[in-house]
Amino acid sequence: MSLDSIDKKLLYLLQNDCKKTTKELSLKLNLSVTAVYERIKKLEREEIIDKYVVLLNRSKVGKGFVVFCHIKLIQHTKEFLTKFETEVVKLKEVLECHHVSGDYDYILKIVVKDMEAYREFLVTKLTTLEHIGSTHSTFMISEVKNTTVIEV
């Protein structure tokens, strides 16, 4: 699907506030409410819009401690990778898991209450996963930029 400038602006507006009504969007886009509704439905059908979510304030829900954990597996066989990925997606503390190139195999973004909670998570959950050779944790000092908006 080819996106025109109106689709791009619509996607930008929705990414910033998906609770805007089609009427509010129609005024910003200078289109009819029906035209906006049809464009949104088309973007959903084409799976350009993947899903709608609510973003929480981590600190206010007791998950303000952010850790980036680099993982090395003991081997890079398909079996080990698959087993690790199957298990890590089950960990509720892990918000993101990326298979990466370089010195490490995976980078995890983990949120917990504090350092004590991270230690508990590391000892009782993460390091109990099979095939982990080593971990390296980096703790967030402050968040300079965090956005979910993708410019198209």
Contacts of 117-121 with CB under 8 Å at 24 or more apart are: 117/65, 118/65, 118/67, 121/91, 121/93
Which CATH number is associated with domain 5-46?
1.10.10
Q: Which part of the chain has CATH 1.10.10?
A: 5-46
Q: Indicate whether 4 pLDDT > 90.
A: yes
Q: Indicate whether 1 pLDDT > 90.
A: no
Please state, in angstroms and rounded to a whole number, the distance separating the CA atoms of residues 13 and 37: 14
Q: Give the DSSP H/E element, type plus range, for residue 72.
A: strand 65-73
Q: Which part of the chain has CATH 3.30.70.920?
A: 58-139
Looking at every residue in the chain, the average pLDDT score rounds to 96
Handedness of CA 129, 88, 74, 70 (dihedral sign): negative
pTM of the model: 0.90
Q: Indicate whether 120 pLDDT > 90.
A: yes
pLDDT band at 76, cuts 50/70/90?
A: confident
Which CATH number is associated with domain 58-139?
3.30.70.920
- pLDDT of res. 30: 97
Q: What are phi and psi of 137, to 5 degrees?
A: -105, 135
Tell me which of 5-14, 37-46, 75-84, 112-121 is least confident.
75-84
The tokens describing 28, both together, are 């910003």
Q: Indicate whether 118 pLDDT > 90.
A: yes
pLDDT band at 94, cuts 50/70/90?
A: very high
The tokens describing 126, both together, are 């993460």
- pLDDT of res. 32: 97
